[in-house]
């Protein structure tokens, strides 16, 4: 990995620091089910860099051993990553478990079951925050989530302002370093630079923090190396503020408000 991959982040932080501002970041990793060597590497990186982590776990197949492994770290919390991570999209449609291919009644039933199972498996580790698989969700379900007990929603991309969801705090991720539609290795430097350039205003002072989205189960060495160097940069730069997911959705010490937008079609393509 070349320095070119980190250059846009360094420029963003240096500029913010020169202007007396800070840039807020947060970190989400998807698809956890059980302890694995890749999970150990993820948690080792989290401890080494000191950046808080939101683990989006799939509640249907998740095993108690995952909760046991995560419970000892106060900087790790669990988000509800769908129910079974099953694709219900028909034909050649983009993959989705909670897309518009099914009726709202079925979607709300599965989302409610997912929250119940997450709480039963993870207890106090689980935040009532819904993370739709493939980052795609039907607008009708967005509106129903608060009534099911969810306080938050996290997908991918900038939060638009098309559909209001009273009582729901929406904090998305914005930078995914895997080239899902290409090599499935690390994105090229220009693509990463463009990603940060699109979303960097979100992290300035007030507003939505920039979210890093990783997938520990499928990352190759190039992606791991990028994540390691990026996270150490964030933890050591005076202009970076790395937020704990409980700070975003828990006691409200830093309120980050959002409204649901075109989440039904926005997805990153990432799982």
CATH of the domain at 40: 3.20.20.370
> What span, in angstroms and rounded, lies between the C-alpha atoms of 166 and 26?
23
Residue 7 within a domain: yes
pLDDT higher than threshold 60 for residue 169? yes
pLDDT at residue 254 tops 60: no
**What are 70-88's pLDDT values in tens digits?**
999 999 999 999 999 999 9
Counted domains in the chain: 1
Provide the residue count of the chain. 271
pLDDT band, residue 256 (cuts 50/70/90): very low
Instruction: Classify residue 83: in a domain, yes or no.
Output: yes
Is residue 178's pLDDT more than 80? yes
Please give the structure tokens belonging to residue 189: 């430097």
Count of Cβ atoms closer than 10 Å to residue 137 Cβ = 29
Looking at the domain assignment, is residue 260 inside a domain? yes
Question: Does 223 score more than 70 pLDDT?
Answer: yes
* pLDDT bucket at 52, cuts 50 / 70 / 90: very high
240, two tokens? 């970076």
Q: Per-residue pLDDT averaged across 116-145, rounded?
A: 96
Residue 229 clears pLDDT 60, i.e. is over it: yes
Stated pTM of the model: 0.90
Q: Does any domain span residue 271?
A: no
196 within domain boundaries = yes
Can you tell me whether residue 210 is helix, strand or coil? strand
Whole-angstrom CA distances from 76 to 151, 168, 245 are 18, 21, 8
What per-residue confidence (pLDDT) applies to 203? Answer: 63
Residue 75 lies in a domain: yes
Name the pLDDT band for 5 (thresholds 50, 70, 90). Answer: confident
Tell me the C-alpha distance between 259 and 166, whole Å. 8
CB neighbourhood size of 75 (10 A): 15
Beta bridge partners of 98: 137
Tell me, what's the pLDDT at 190? 86
How do residues 108-126 score in pLDDT, each as one tens digit? 999 999 999 999 999 999 9
Q: Is pLDDT above 90 for 201?
A: no
237 occurs within a structural domain:
yes
Contacts of 146 (CB under 8 A, 6+ apart): 165, 166, 167, 168
Q: Does residue 267 carry a pLDDT above 80?
A: no
Which of the four pLDDT bands, split at 50, 70 and 90, describes residue 158?
A: confident
| Domain with 69 in it | 3-265
Let me know if residue 270 belongs to a domain: no
């Amino acid at each position: 990995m070349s320095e070119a991959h980190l250059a846009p982040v360094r420029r963003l932080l240096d500029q913010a620091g020169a202007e007396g501002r800070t840039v807020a970041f947060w970190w989400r990793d998807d698809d956890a089910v059980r302890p694995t060597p890749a999970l150990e590497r993820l948690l080792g990186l989290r401890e080494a860099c000191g950046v808080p982590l939101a683990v989006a776990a799939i509640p249907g197949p998740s095993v108690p051993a995952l909760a046991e492994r995560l419970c000892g770290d106060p900087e790790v919390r669990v988000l509800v990553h769908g129910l079974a991570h099953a694709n219900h999209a028909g034909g050649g449609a983009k993959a989705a478990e909670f897309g518009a291919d099914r009726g709202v009644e079925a979607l709300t039933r599965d989302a409610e079951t997912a929250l119940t199972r997450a709480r039963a498996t993870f207890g106090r580790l689980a935040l009532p925050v819904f993370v739709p698989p493939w980052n795609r969700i039907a607008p009708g379900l967005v509106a129903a989530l608060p009534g099911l007990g969810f306080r938050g929603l996290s997908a991918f991309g900038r939060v638009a302002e098309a559909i209001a969801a009273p009582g729901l705090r929406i904090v998305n991720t914005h930078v995914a370093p895997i080239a899902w539609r290409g090599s499935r290795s690390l994105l090229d430097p220009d693509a990463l630079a463009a990603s940060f350039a699109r979303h960097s205003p979100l992290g300035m002072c007030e507003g939505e923090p920039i979210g890093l989205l990783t997938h520990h189960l499928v990352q190759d060495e190039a992606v791991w190396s990028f994540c390691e160097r990026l996270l150490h940069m964030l933890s050591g730069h005076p202009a970076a503020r790395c937020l704990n997911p409980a700070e975003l959705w828990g006691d409200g010490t830093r309120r980050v408000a959002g409204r649901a937008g075109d989440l039904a079609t926005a997805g990153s393509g990432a799982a």
